[in-house]
Amino acid sequence: MKKAYLALADGTVFEGISFGAEGETFGEVVFNTALSGYQEVLTDPSYKGQLVAMTCPQQGNYGVNEEDIESGRPWAEGFIVKESCLFPSNYRSTEVLMAYLRRHGVVGIAGVDTRALTRIIRDKGAMQAMISTADNADNDKARLVERAREATGIVGVDLVKEVTSKKPYRWTQGLWTRESGYEKTVPEKLRFKVVAYDFGMKLNILRCLASSGCDVAVVPASTPAEAVLEANPDGIFLSNGPGDPEAVPYAIESVKKLIGKRPIFGICLGHQILALALGGRTYKLKFGHRGANHPVQDLTTRKVEITSQNHGFAVDMDSIKGIAELTHINLNDRTVEGMRLKDLPVFSVQYHPEASPGPHDSHYLFKRFTEEMGKNRRMG
């Protein structure tokens, strides 16, 4: 097995074996605590610019298939695991994870003590790092650390423009079922016309919108507000996406012009962009929230949801006090997980209610969106 090295900006170097494509890659090293879903993680555009370490020791157990992708390709800059499973067991598996990484050019490293790596990130925060499988890497580990320190971070960098769709399109698929694969949505069942901004859209968001009764038209992140309103939608959806929300001023300006014109529902980066459009602020978290086990309380119902999350920034609720009200809060660190406007059908959450493979505690938010569109249609 070919050696590989993970070098962190703090000077730490992990030695492992090459797992995926060979070469070198740079990014912000982060950890994800989900027990499953490595294929969804890799293909989530929100991981653009990041090296993802999975805290669950073994990855690849159930292989890879074409149904569980969240976009057309992997976006993570690199993948870090403790152990790679070379003999997956699942009737839906069509490929070994390592082969999938190689086919898509994703550099990975296995054999890393991911528990120790996670403790470093928790103590010192997410930082720039690099993975190298170069033949001379073993002789120049200090240089690897130096190159990691010199790598461009994600603060102030517009990553959305690299992952957004190039042109508008209409979504025509419903939820995936074991019996029939992707079901074609029946037009008669589509009650609400929704324009969805693609800041790094996950496919399961579109499936959930469609299954909730939405006819979804997806538009690139740079689409002006005027073009969206010309389509005369019942509602506007703001998707997830990668990086720093303040680095996409064009999206903030568009959302600012749309507030009050139609019901709006934002997720993750869309939630942060909405807060900035309201005049608020965002800030970078020390190591972010990434995983499928984050407890969030809905303050309107007092219920606790287990949620899937993937973000490195958060909204400063004090910056929009009196403009929006807090609706959801993270029970681990008390950060903002949801908000809404008091007098307008505009709301958002920081987490992923469409979570695939799960949990599914927060699917009700899609119904809440259609209810708001129904109310707005009756009033209008």
Query: What does the alpha-carbon distance between residue 123 and residue 56 come to, in Å, rounded to a whole number?
Result: 19
Q: In the numeric block, which tokens belong to residue 67?
A: 């149904």
Largest pairwise CA distance in the chain = 70
| Residue 21 DSSP one-character state | B
Considering the candidates 56, 268, 294, 328, report the single residue annotated as catalytic.
Answer: 268
- Coil, strand, or helix at residue 378? helix
Kind of pairing between the strands at 127-132 and 3-8: antiparallel
| Cross-strand pairs, 349 | 267, 338
Count Cβ neighbours within 10 Å for each residue of 64-96 and write b for 16 or more, e otherwise: beeebbbbeebbbbbbbbbbbbeebeeeeeebb
The answer to whether the CB of 235 falls within 8 A of the CB of 373 is yes
Is 208 a catalytic site residue? no
Query: What does the alpha-carbon distance between residue 16 and residue 19 come to, in Å, rounded to a whole number?
Result: 9
Kind of pairing between the strands at 24-32 and 235-238: unpaired
- Which amino acid, residue 189? K
Least Cα distance to 301 among 372, 371, 368 occurs for 368
Considering the candidates 271, 311, 352, 372, report the single residue annotated as catalytic.
Answer: 352
Q: How far apart are the first and last CA of the chain?
A: 65
Q: In the numeric block, which tokens belong to residue 252?
A: 């903030």
Residues 334, 335, 337, 343: is their CA dihedral positive or negative?
positive
Least Cα distance to 152 among 162, 164, 139 occurs for 162
Is 352 a catalytic site residue? yes
Residues 228, 229, 232, 234: is their CA dihedral positive or negative?
positive
Is 268 a catalytic site residue? yes
Q: Which residues are catalytic?
A: 268, 352, 354
